[in-house]
């Protein structure tokens, strides 16, 4: 008989209960430490969240926005500069600024980008290797290049609208218009003088960009830019081109150092042309020099020579000292004042006051000056604006110099009557002659016109605004009768027996005064260096134009004002009168 074994009960947890590791009791401090660590971690997270979300929220919001939101300044378009008839003298052309986000720009894009922007690869890498998030690569990129760049679809490249100044008249009007720098701020000429009006007010655009730098939305309404004003000049670009071309040819012909031409509207003193040579191209200033940059007609001063003689003649007539037909004895061709001796080009003998102007007698003018109080001469020069800065909105306008009369010696009082011992600019001399072109009223020169004021009416007819233009402010410096007498003398000076015959204009009666002034070198006058001058007006029946010409240091055989500057006057005056539609009066 088989005996059954006694069954034993099976406990599934028995091996676990016998596990020595579980059977051991852990110290309480370890569990508390773990709990404390967990609590500390959560407390740190809560503190950090408080610091980011509450205590320093503005900072982190601002940092976040910088990653995707940008404020783009919208540049105002610089105002245009136009001539009296609305023709463009300076205008802004659309260009672009190319910016890059270095972290988003792929290395493979460097080569095509370098070629398209005409930027050396090494320079491109230098600009992109830095900590900046937004880098300017190039400015004033033309529209075609910007379009090609856009077609490449490069990530991290942004184009911002910009502009570049363009000057259609180039060299001819460079000294009048001036130019701007790369920031579009005026540096010379009208660009500098009227910079505030031309600049305008920039606008703003706040945008959100994606990770590739592309604009996806705007965060607030656009603030549009206010474009600059249009500046209307008194300049006539046709006359400006004519004056510059004739001046350039004359300087080349006579191998002169430099020269200037000023053309004024005789009725109101408006500047129709102001040309200088040498000049420069404001569209390409890579090799610009100070010699080219000087606006000689406005900033250079010199002794005006015989062109100033009508002032003392007019004063002598007004004071009742002489009449146009009064006789002055200039024999024997020289005149001694103290130890000094004054000479004429030849012995003219006894001559009338009118003939003294016609033949440009220094002795006659010296005698007229010494017959007047020095104070009266000085005051009259002041009335004509000599020694005073012209009322012109233009940088660097020179005032010239007339020494106080109390310091004049007799010889100085005499020489000032025929243009030595004082200094003026060519613009000032031209302004003096406005007094003789009309009724004795001196018209201050001007360069800026009111917007919309042109020489044509709504139907396009010339000279519709004659009455409006003839209202230029001025003051009387001589009587109408004396002004007419001076005009007659000036006409004699350009006729038979006068010094200005070479200035003749076919079909028109002209009048003017020559000047040949020795150049001062150091403390003495050079023997063979001169300034040739001619200032005149036309047509004499009703003067419309005043033209002043200065040729500096002609090196050819001819150096007299009549033979060097006179022909320039004739060519400019004749062409300008035809352009303005002034009928012949000869």
Task: Check which CATH number belongs to the domain holding 563 and give it.
Answer: 3.40.710.10
C-alpha 160/C-alpha 97 separation (Å) is 5
CB 157 within 8 A of CB 148: no
pLDDT recorded at residue 462: 39
Residues 224 and 355 in one domain: no
- Report pLDDT digits (tens) over 144-177: 888 888 888 788 888 877 788 999 999 999 999 9
Give the pLDDT score at 459: 37
Q: List all residues 6 or more positions away from 51 whose beta carbon is below 8 Å from its beta carbon.
A: none
Instruction: Say if 39 falls within a structural domain.
Output: no
* Domain-located, residue 45: no
- Same domain for 335 and 437: yes
Per-residue pLDDT at 172: 96
Tell me how far apart the alpha carbons of residues 245 and 271 are, in angstroms, rounded to a whole number. Answer: 17
Q: Do 136 and 202 have their domain in common?
A: yes
Residues 148 and 81 reside in one and the same domain: yes
Query: Residue 227: CA atoms inside 13 Å, Cβ hemisphere, count?
Result: 11
Catalytically active residues are 306
How many domains in the chain? 2
* Burial bucket for residue 11 (CB in 10 Å: 0-12, 13-18, 19+): exposed
CATH of the domain at 183: 3.90.1310.10
Examine the domain organization and report whether 303 and 316 are in the same domain.
yes
Count of CB atoms situated within 10 Å of the CB of 435? 26
Q: Does residue 245 share a domain with residue 223?
A: no
243 and 205 inside one domain: no
Any domain includes 48: no
Measured between alpha carbons, how far is 167 from 169 in angstroms, rounded to an integer? 6
Spatial separation of the C-alpha atoms in residues 558 and 401, rounded to whole Å: 29
Which residue's structure tokens are 């352009």? Answer: 579
**Domain final position from 233, 257, 273:** 233
Which pair of tokens denotes residue 130? 């830095």
pLDDT at 457: 39
Distance CA 494, CA 501 (A): 5
Q: Residue 211 has what pLDDT?
A: 62
DSSP line for 262-330: EEEETTT-BEEEEEEES---TT--TT--HHHH--HHHH--B--GGGGHHHHHHHHHHTTS--TT-EEE-
CA distance 290 to 491: 39
Q: Is residue 31, in this structure, part of any structural domain at all? A: no
Let me know if residue 584 belongs to a domain.
no
Do 547 and 573 meet the contact criterion of CB atoms below 8 Å apart?
yes
Integer Cα distance of 384 and 476 in angstroms: 9
Burial class (CB in 10 A: 0-12, 13-18, 19+), 105: buried
Residue corresponding to tokens 């009168």 = 577
> 222 and 337 share a domain?
no
Do 436 and 313 meet the contact criterion of CB atoms below 8 Å apart? Answer: no
Residues 455 and 565 in one domain: yes
Burial (CB count within 10 angstroms: exposed 0-12, middle 13-18, buried 19+), residue 253: middle
- Positions in the chain whose pLDDT score sits under 70: 1-26, 63-68, 70, 72, 209-221, 450-472
CB 82 within 8 A of CB 232: yes
16 lies in some domain: no
| Helix%, strand%, coil% for the chain, nearest 5 | 35, 25, 40
Of the candidates 270, 305, 276, which has an alpha carbon nearest to the alpha carbon of residue 292? 276
For the chain, the distance separating the N- and C-terminal CA atoms, rounded to the nearest angstrom, is 170
By residue range, what is the domain housing residue 384? 237-281+292-579
Q: Are residues 227 and 242 in the same domain?
A: no
* Residue 178 in domain: yes
- Do both 223 and 298 map to the same domain? no
pLDDT value for 163: 81
How many helices and strands, by DSSP H and E, does the chain display? 24, 24
CA distance 294 to 175: 8
Beta-carbon count within 10 A of 513 CB = 33
Torsion of the alpha carbons at 172, 503, 357 and 386, rounded to the nearest 10: 0
Residue 41 CA to residue 235 CA, distance in Å, equals 80
Q: Is residue 65 part of a domain?
A: no
Pair 275, 212 in one domain: no
């Amino acid at each position: 008989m088989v005996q059954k074994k006694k069954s034993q009960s099976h406990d599934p947890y028995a091996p676990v209960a016998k596990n020595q590791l579980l059977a051991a009791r852990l110290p309480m401090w370890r569990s508390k430490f773990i709990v404390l660590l967990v609590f500390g971690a959560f407390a740190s997270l809560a503190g950090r969240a408080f610091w980011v979300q509450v205590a320093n929220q503005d900072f982190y919001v601002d940092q976040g926005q910088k990653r995707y939101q940008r404020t783009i300044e919208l540049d105002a378009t610089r105002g245009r500069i136009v001539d009296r008839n609305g023709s463009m003298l300076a205008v802004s052309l659309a260009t672009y600024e190319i910016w890059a986000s270095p972290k988003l720009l792929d290395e493979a894009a460097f080569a095509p980008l370098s070629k398209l922007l005409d930027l050396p690869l090494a320079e491109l890498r230098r600009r992109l290797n830095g900590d900046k998030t937004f880098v300017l690569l190039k400015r004033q990129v033309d529209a075609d290049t910007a379009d090609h760049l856009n077609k490449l679809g490069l990530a991290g490249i942004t184009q911002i609208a910009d502009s570049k100044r363009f000057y259609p008249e180039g060299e001819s009007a460079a000294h009048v218009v001036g130019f701007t720098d790369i920031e579009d701020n005026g540096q010379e000429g009208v660009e500098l003088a009227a910079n505030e009006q031309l600049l305008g007010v920039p606008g703003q655009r706040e945008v959100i960009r994606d990770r590739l730098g592309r604009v996806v939305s705007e965060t607030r309404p656009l603030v549009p830019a206010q474009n600059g004003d249009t500046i209307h000049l008194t300049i006539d670009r046709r006359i400006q081109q004519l004056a510059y071309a004739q001046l350039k040819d004359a300087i080349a012909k006579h191998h002169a150092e430099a020269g200037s031409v000023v053309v004024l509207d005789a009725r109101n003193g408006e500047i129709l042309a102001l040309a200088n040579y040498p000049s420069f191209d404001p569209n390409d200033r890579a090799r610009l020099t100070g010699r080219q940059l000087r606006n000689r007609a406005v900033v250079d001063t010199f002794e005006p020579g015989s062109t100033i003689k009508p002032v003392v003649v007019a004063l002598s007539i007004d004071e009742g000292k002489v009449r146009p037909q009064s006789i002055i004895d200039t024999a024997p061709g020289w005149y001694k004042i103290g130890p000094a001796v004054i000479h004429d080009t030849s012995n003219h003998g006894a001559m009338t006051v009118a003939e003294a102007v016609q033949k440009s007698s220094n002795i006659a003018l010296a005698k007229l000056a010494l017959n007047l109080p020095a104070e009266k001469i000085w005051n009259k020069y002041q009335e004509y604006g000599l020694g005073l800065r012209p009322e012109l909105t233009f940088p660097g306008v020179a005032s010239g110099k007339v020494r106080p009369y109390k310091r004049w010696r007799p010889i100085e009082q005499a020489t000032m009557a025929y243009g030595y011992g004082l200094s003026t600019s060519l613009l000032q001399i031209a302004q003096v002659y406005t007094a003789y072109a009309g009724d004795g009223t001196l018209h201050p020169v001007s360069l800026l016109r009111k917007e919309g004021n042109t020489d044509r009416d709504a139907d396009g007819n010339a000279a519709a605004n004659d009455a409006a233009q003839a209202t230029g402010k001025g003051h009387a410096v001589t009587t109408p009768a004396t002004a007419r007498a001076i005009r007659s003398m000036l006409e004699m000076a350009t006729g038979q027996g006068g010094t200005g015959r070479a200035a003749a204009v076919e079909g028109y009666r002209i009048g003017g005064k020559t000047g040949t002034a020795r150049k001062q070198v150091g403390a003495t006058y050079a023997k063979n260096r001169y300034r040739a001058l001619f200032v005149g007006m036309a047509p004499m029946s009703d003067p419309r134009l005043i033209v002043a010409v200065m040729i500096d240091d002609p090196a050819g055989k001819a150096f007299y004002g009549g033979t060097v500057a006179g022909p320039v006057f004739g060519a400019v005056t004749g062409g300008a009168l035809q352009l303005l539609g002034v009928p012949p009066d000869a």
